[in-house]
Amino acid sequence: MERILFGDNQFFGVNHMSEEKARAQAMQFRDTTAIVRVLDQAYDAGIRVFMCTTHDRVGEIADIVRASPERYRDLQFYPCMPYAHKYANSIGEVGMLETLRRFAPGSIVDALIRGAISAVTQDAEKLAQLLVDAEMKRFVGLKTPIVFLQNVVTDLLLGLKLYDMFAVFARHVREKYAAEAGFITMNLPTLVNALARAGISNPIVCANVNKIGFRMCGGVEAYREVIASGLCRPIAMSALASGAIPPSEAIEWVCGLEGLKSIVFGASSRTNILQTKQLIEQYWGMAP
């Protein structure tokens, strides 16, 4: 697993502190070529991982990367699925059952719709596999060594105590895509315990990790203990708390956490990419 990862929130109008900034970024990156330009800047700065959602426009980026294999020979994608807004929009347009048909066509869905309610439990694993396969189609031919389950699903399964589904996901991405499973969460301490109960040892887990406890369910000290425990391979996201903490202060604090394996960050300009990367290298004592 690489130590410095480049994220995609800024490309799709996601900012947890400012709706105005989110709208401005959405306008800035309304053209896919603008996204690729910034991705190129991160790649040329030595960042080799693009941790991204399965947004439809990521498929366009994947096409560009596939078309230039020499240019992007070292680029890895860490897909994060599902892209919740896509499913939510579809449910609003055509309803739940038609959404299942749209994204996971086949006899399983048809059987459920015909009323085979008793089959729901035994078919849940197959349905999950179909949905993962549908999302992974856009990454065919690309390097995807880690595949993440987005927090909207991770934390739903966590709340419902459906821990076995974590194992289903991990097993499927390992067997079909030769990849490790990763899990994104807003509740790192509880998730690590649940993954252990599901039989997943030393899992890759991505969570908000920042000095002020922004979107860190359980609090800073609980996170610090889990990160230092060696029970998981933690990745910090939102280290700057969506801009609430000055970059140098934020990165110094995060890099000082014992046991932290990686940091993922987003940026919309070459200057910000280089500044953040240099700060991480400085505080982690990495050779630039």
Say if 119 falls within a structural domain: no
Residues spanned by the domain of 153? 4-81+126-284
pTM here is 0.87
* In contact, 286 and 10? CB cutoff 8 Å: no
Say if 105 falls within a structural domain: no
Say if 88 falls within a structural domain: no
Rounded Cα distance between 54 and 268, Å, is 19
Rounded Cα distance between 238 and 257, Å, is 15
Give, for all 288 residues of the chain, the pLDDT tens digit: 999 999 998 898 665 566 676 667 667 788 999 999 999 999 999 999 999 999 889 999 999 999 999 999 999 999 999 876 565 555 567 665 565 666 655 544 555 444 444 444 456 787 788 889 989 999 999 999 999 999 999 999 999 999 999 999 999 999 999 999 999 999 999 999 999 999 999 999 999 999 999 999 999 999 999 999 999 999 999 999 988 999 999 999 999 999 999 999 999 999 999 999 999 999 999 876
Rounded Cα distance between 43 and 33, Å, is 15
| Residue 65, CA atoms < 13 Å, CB-side half-sphere | 27
Say if 94 falls within a structural domain: no
What pLDDT score was predicted for residue 122? 56
What pLDDT score was predicted for residue 129? 85
Say if 113 falls within a structural domain: no
CATH of the domain at 135: 3.20.20.100
Say if 109 falls within a structural domain: no
> What residue type is assigned to position 164 of the chain?
D
Say if 102 falls within a structural domain: no
Q: Count structural domains, the chain.
A: 1
Say if 120 falls within a structural domain: no
